[in-house]
């Protein structure tokens, strides 16, 4: 073999070797794929997803599927380049920069804690929204879930502090407290009136600039409700707030006579406010694939996700726009009875 041929062979081998090694090097991306679904009027591990005690309930039929997104990767378990490339070639998954899921200034454990708090808040907000829809009264308070280490609230506000006012204005709910903080300029002081045990205190906390420039104090809050009966939601290790709408619909279906679904396989997604407003979520394309895989033919879609959903909707899945819990109930009534308008998603 000539020296030139040997050189080319060696160079080709080195290129291949570097390529193979490079393919298995970790990269800062996360793969999002369709996650598991759960029927909110069904069971998980032989236990009802939604259990209600102390109030009459009614039989249900069909399904109200919550949908999820599974992710692979993250700071603690980065994917390799080959996995990312496979994801880019698969139309049912998305490959996104790691920082879109895991903020650079937050560790994975903190993200998990936030997801757990968001899921608890989502379940409570879903119950509150369902009771508001049925005009059943309840009591509510805003409490501190935890503070972020190194942020201004750390050491000043404590877990389980009940926030009763911000700058002298009553703390109606978590959103109101958050909005009151955001209304300040970075560097301003925020005065929280709290109860800690039997003590009432005014706690002054300065704001700092958050990742997007908005002022924050570094406190995560949760609503503490006192409902007139017990509502228990069991979904295993599913986290985040995006199942709120489907929880509310499941609670409503169990608390009212008749079948909300008409026996159909319904799926959907969306955050929920206690007042019934449905908010947008992430991963809509993957969630629609998961909905179709679960056998659903109708997908309740937050209004703000409609434009994106229309572009990626799988064949055979009908998109129904959900602005509020009330409008979602009306849409399901129209689908069941064949009477009334069913709001559809439209391209933006």
Kindly write down the DSSP assignment for every residue of 144-183, as one continuous string. EEEE-TTSTTBTTB-TTPEEEEETTEE--SHHHHHHHHHT
Structural domain harbouring 256? 29-109+229-337
* Span 44-89, pLDDT tens digits: 888 999 999 999 999 999 999 999 988 888 777 787 777 777 877 8
Give the integer Cα–Cα distance in Å for 16 and 235.
47
Catalytic residue among 125, 242, 248, 294: 242
**Whether 242 is catalytic:** yes
Q: What is the arithmetic mean of pLDDT over 319-326?
A: 97
Is 104 in the same domain as 251? yes
Is 161 in the same domain as 248? no
Total-model pTM: 0.77
Is 305 in the same domain as 236? yes
Is 187 in the same domain as 235? no
130 domain residue, yes or no:
no
Kind plus residue range of the DSSP H or E element containing 248: helix 244-255
Instruction: Decide the pairing of beta strands 298-302 and 265-268.
Output: parallel
- If pLDDT is split at 50, 70 and 90, which confidence band does 237 have? low
Q: What is the pLDDT of residue 41?
A: 96
Assess whether pLDDT exceeds 70 at residue 219: yes
b (16+ CB within 10 A) / e for 49-80: bbebeeeebeebebbbbbbbbebbbbbeebbb
Q: What is the pLDDT of residue 307?
A: 95
**Whether 51 is catalytic:** no
Count of domains for the chain: 2
Q: Which of 208, 225, 242 is the last residue of a domain?
A: 225
77 domain residue, yes or no:
yes
Residue 154 sits in a domain whose CATH number is 2.30.42.10
Alpha-carbon distances of 109 from 14, 74, 112, 333, rounded to whole Å? 40, 11, 5, 42
Is 184 in the same domain as 258? no
Catalytic residue among 33, 122, 254, 287: 287
Assess whether pLDDT exceeds 80 at residue 305: yes
Q: What is the arithmetic mean of pLDDT over 224-230?
A: 93
Q: What is the pLDDT of residue 18?
A: 42
Is 164 in the same domain as 233? no
* Span 169-203, pLDDT tens digits: 999 888 899 999 999 999 999 999 999 999 999 99
* Span 25-40, pLDDT tens digits: 777 888 888 999 999 9
- Residues of the chain above pLDDT 90, percent: 62
Is 178 in the same domain as 263? no
Assess whether pLDDT exceeds 70 at residue 104: no
């Amino acid at each position: 073999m000539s020296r030139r041929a040997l050189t080319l062979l060696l160079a080709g081998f080195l290129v291949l070797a570097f390529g193979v090694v490079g393919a298995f090097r970790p990269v800062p991306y996360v793969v999002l794929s369709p996650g598991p679904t759960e029927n909110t009027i069904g069971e998980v591990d032989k236990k009802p997803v939604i259990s209600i005690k102390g109030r009459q309930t009614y039989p249900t039929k069909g399904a109200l599927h919550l949908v999820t997104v599974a992710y692979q990767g993250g700071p603690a378990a980065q994917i390799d380049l080959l996995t990312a490339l496979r994801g880019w070639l698969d139309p049912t998954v998305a490959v996104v920069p790691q920082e879109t899921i895991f903020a650079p200034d937050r560790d994975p454990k903190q993200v998990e804690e936030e997801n757990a708090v968001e899921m608890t808040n989502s379940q409570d907000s879903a119950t509150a929204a369902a009771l508001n829809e049925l005009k059943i009264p309840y009591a509510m308070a805003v409490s501190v879930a935890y503070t972020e280490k190194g942020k201004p609230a750390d050491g000043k506000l404590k877990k389980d502090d009940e926030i009763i006012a911000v700058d002298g204005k009553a703390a109606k709910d978590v959103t109101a407290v958050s909005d009151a903080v955001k209304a300040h300029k970075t560097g301003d002081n925020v005065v929280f009136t709290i109860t800690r045990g039997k003590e009432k205190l005014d706690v002054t906390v300065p704001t700092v600039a958050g990742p997007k420039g908005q002022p924050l104090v570094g406190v995560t809050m949760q609503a503490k409700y006192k409902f007139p009966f017990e509502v228990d939601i069991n979904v295993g290790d599913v986290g985040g707030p995006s199942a709120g709408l489907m929880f509310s619909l499941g609670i409503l279906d169990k608390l009212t006579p008749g079948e909300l679904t008409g026996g159909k396989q319904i799926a959907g997604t969306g955050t929920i406010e206690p007042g019934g407003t449905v908010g947008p979520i992430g991963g809509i394309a993957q969630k629609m694939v998961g909905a179709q895989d679960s056998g659903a033919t109708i997908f309740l879609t937050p209004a703000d996700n409609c434009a994106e959903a229309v572009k990626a909707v799988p064949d055979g899945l009908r998109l129904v726009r959900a602005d509020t819990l009330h409008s979602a109930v009306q849409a399901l009534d129209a689908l069941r009875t064949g009477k009334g308008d069913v709001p559809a998603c439209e391209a933006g």
